[in-house]
Amino acid sequence: MRISVIGCGYLGAVHAACMAKLGHEVVGIDVDERKIADLSSSKAPFYEPGLEELLREVQDSSRLTFTTDMAAAAGSDVHFICVGTPQKKGENGADMSYVDASLFALLPYLQEGNVVVGKSTVPVGTAERLAGLVSEQEPSAHLVWNPEFLREGHAVSDTLQPDRFVYGVPDGSEDHPAVGRLDEVYSAPITAGTPRLVTDHATAELVKAAANSFLATKISFINAMAEVCEATGADVSRLADAIGLDDRIGRKFLNAGIGFGGGCLPKDIRAFMARAGELGADQALTFLREVDAINMRRRTRVVELTREICGGSLLGQRITVLGAAFKPESDDVRDSPALSIAAQLQLQGAVVTVTDPKALSNAARRFPELQYEPDFASAVQASDALLLLTEWAEYRNLDPYDLGSRVSSLRILDGRNVLDPAKWRAAGWHYRGLGRP
Ligand code: UGA
């Protein structure tokens, strides 16, 4: 099939490459000329494992091109909208200006029987509104809402082998003509057994908001347990192992630590609350305020614990922060808890150095006042305290004996609970985890 993908960020660039991998002829369209220039030469504009290799593979076969010209969408059967919906400045709601602008730019190029597929995370009610605009322009065209569930760091495999597909069509019916078209697009994973659910527009939009809210709630739940563990001397990691063995609960997403960040969970729960408020259903989601508050409290807790392990004052203490990305295998620093903690420590008088294998240039753009050191050995040299805040494999596998000879004081705060406390203590370190004795 001929496919256009509008918006080539974290979602769209991966989606375009994966659709070409599935055998389609794809054009990726974005207003950002630099991004398009990078992608055209098979360079990923952000770090995502496997993406550059995939771009090279599908571009060698000429199935994938990139352009800034929306006219290139003309002639495609299916148009995916993959632009961002960031949090509005000073408000909880989602900024819909990129979705609206991309749809308006696409409308003149729609042709008979085309299917427009929304993948961006949007407030419930958006699909119905956009469907009206699509059918006004081209009555035979359809709009489907097909939320995306990929995780950064696993984006390629999550797109090629997702857990499920959700198609939101106006009447929620399997017989809607757009269902068959989308089945053709995803024919390889569907044949391989990926479940596919057809719903109405609103349900499909809500599936995405509900899934991310559930994940955020699971993380804040275990972080709330960490607070109680801290008050009692119990161990939240063992608690998570034990409750996670109940398969109704499950162990995934029960890692207590500095909390969730990134470009999705924090802004999605806020946008969901804002939308529920507009719909008069705000009471249903007041618990998400608590989820958000627990999450934010972790960051303050880490600042306090750092002060404690530094002997009561942060003034002049040389702190090395290991990790700037919001999670490993990503260079994304949007709402990164690690960077937010680093900035708070610096404001309170510590001398902070941040290191990260991939995210330092993005971090420096967002927090130019912090000091960044790409070389690990230089970053930890003469450090008074280490804070492990993003669990990259190289930090999880650090050798406490080797590291001990390079720092100035043997103090480590494990913000992701990924180190073995007994091993670090045996090597002479003052080890602190979160919610661990
Ligand atoms: C999240 C969802 O997991 C995806 O399903 C969804 O498609 C995506 O948002 C989106 O809406 O686009 P992502 O933001 O890539 O994906 O990251 P996650 O793997 O969900 O991690 C989010 C944050 O939670 C990270 O900061 C991570 O460190 C933290 N986390 C995760 C924990 O603190 N504890 C855990 O047990 C798991």
CATH number at residue 244: 3.40.50.720
CB distance 152 to ligand 1 below 6 Å: yes
One-character DSSP codes across 101-121? HHHHHHGGG--TT-EEEE-S-
Distance 332 CA to ligand 1 centre (A): 12
Q: Which atom of ligand 1 is nearest to the CA of 253?
A: 36
- pLDDT score for 48: 96
* Tally of domains in the chain: 2
Distance 319 CA to ligand 1 centre (A): 26
- pLDDT score for 45: 94
Q: Which atom of ligand 1 is nearest to the CA of 327?
A: 28
Within the chain, which residues score under 70 in pLDDT?
Answer: none
204 and 194 within one domain: no
CA dihedral 335, 336, 339, 341 (to 10 degrees): 90
Choose among 6, 188, 169, 176: nearest CA to 80.
6
Residue in 82, 229, 264, 310 annotated catalytic: 264
Distance 269 CA to ligand 1 centre (A): 12
436 and 378 within one domain: yes
Distance 41 CA to ligand 1 centre (A): 29
Tens digit of each residue's pLDDT (9 = 90 or more) over 198-248: 999 999 999 999 999 999 999 999 999 999 999 999 999 999 999 999 999
Q: How far is 44 from 157, CA to CA, in rounded Å?
A: 16
Cβ(270)–Cβ(89) below 8 Å: no
Q: How far is 141 from 114, CA to CA, in rounded Å?
A: 5
Residue 88 per-residue DSSP state: P
CB distance 415 to ligand 1 below 6 Å: no
Look at residues 198, 217, 243 and tell me which one is the last residue of a structural domain: 198
209 and 138 within one domain: no
Nearest CA to ligand 1 atom 25: 260
Look at residues 198, 228, 262 and tell me which one is the last residue of a structural domain: 198
Cβ(259)–Cβ(293) below 8 Å: no
Asked if 8 is an active-site residue, the reply is no
Residue 358 per-residue DSSP state: S
Cβ(259)–Cβ(296) below 8 Å: yes
CA dihedral 76, 119, 69, 365 (to 10 degrees): -160
CB distance 326 to ligand 1 below 6 Å: yes
CB distance 14 to ligand 1 below 6 Å: no
Nearest CA to ligand 1 atom 18: 151
- The two structure tokens encoding residue 424: 């670090």
182 and 210 within one domain: no
148 and 212 within one domain: no
CB distance 253 to ligand 1 below 6 Å: yes
146 and 9 within one domain: yes
Q: In what order do the strands lie in the sheet with 196-199?
A: 64-67, 25-29, 2-6, 78-81, 115-118, 142-145, 165-168, 196-199
Q: How far is CA 37 from CA 42, 106, 181, in A?
A: 9, 21, 31
- pLDDT score for 254: 98
218 and 193 within one domain: no
251 and 168 within one domain: no
Residue 32, exposed/middle/buried by CB under 10 A (0-12, 13-18, 19+)? middle
Tens digit of each residue's pLDDT (9 = 90 or more) over 117-156: 999 999 999 999 999 999 999 999 999 999 999 999 999 9
Q: How far is 423 from 305, CA to CA, in rounded Å?
A: 21
pTM for the model? 0.97
- pLDDT score for 348: 97
Look at residues 150, 171, 198 and tell me which one is the last residue of a structural domain: 198
422 and 346 within one domain: yes
194 and 204 within one domain: no
216 and 150 within one domain: no
Q: Which atom of ligand 1 is nearest to the CA of 263?
A: 14
Domain of 331 in residue numbering reads as 200-437
Cβ(2)–Cβ(77) below 8 Å: yes
262 and 354 within one domain: yes
